Amino acid sequence: MSTHWARARAAVIAFLLFFNALAALPTPGEPSLERLQRPFEREELGRWAALFRSFGVDTDPDRLAQAYLAFSLWLEQARAVALSPIEGWMAFTLTHQGWRLFGTPERAVSALRVTAHGARGDEVLYESGDAARCWNAAFLEYRRIRADYNPSRRGPPPTYAAFGQRLSEEIFATMPHVMRVTVALVATRVRLPHEAAPSVAEQAEHVLEFARPGA
């Protein structure tokens, strides 16, 4: 192999590695003024504004939000300009999809709750995140099974009803005393370590009721 060919190949590899590393750098996501008005984001903005003020920076949550949006827009535009030399190549090879950081977390989550009703009373067999209510946890927490019930902002997936039906059939087959089964998604909120448990009872949503056949 000639020296010139080796140098050319090394230059091409270095060129592609550089832009690949550049494209892999995360961006702040897709922030918006509407998103920054949510309670958690307002709380975070207030906390950061207080931190900046403690260092002598005169700011408040509203100005900090505007600065964050401006910085995010600038960063996205700068990334697009920096990657423009290989934009055509990335589109041709279908490698132009990047990844983004979650600018702020989604604190509203849903826990799956499976409840059995029978002669012994009501018993919560399974609830997401509760080690004491762990019936069939290995199955229910498997990532592909979670996709059958984990909701999006539009609600549970189309497989949710069939998933609940399948669970009820298994419970009826293995627990003769159970006469009804309730499958529900319980709206809850991720708490920070210093936050106390909510005083208001968590609300069950998307409730499915199943009765034992022939009962």
Q: What is the per-residue pLDDT across 34-91, written as a single tens digit (0 to 9) for each?
A: 888 888 788 889 989 999 999 999 999 999 999 999 998 898 888 889 888 888 888 8
Report which of residues 98 and 65 the model is more confident about.
65
Give just the sign of the alpha carbon dihedral 60, 61, 67, 68: positive
Model pTM score: 0.58
Residue 159 has pLDDT above 80, yes or no: yes
What single-letter DSSP state applies at residue 85? G
From residue 95, alpha-carbon distances to 11, 144, 201 in Å are 20, 26, 47
Each residue's pLDDT tens digit, 170-206: 999 999 999 999 999 988 776 666 766 665 557 788 8
What lies within 8 Å, CB to CB, of 191 at 6+ separation is 197, 198
Residue 139 banded pLDDT, cuts 50, 70, 90: very high
Alpha-carbon span 122 to 125, nearest angstrom: 9
Average pLDDT over the chain, rounded to an integer: 85
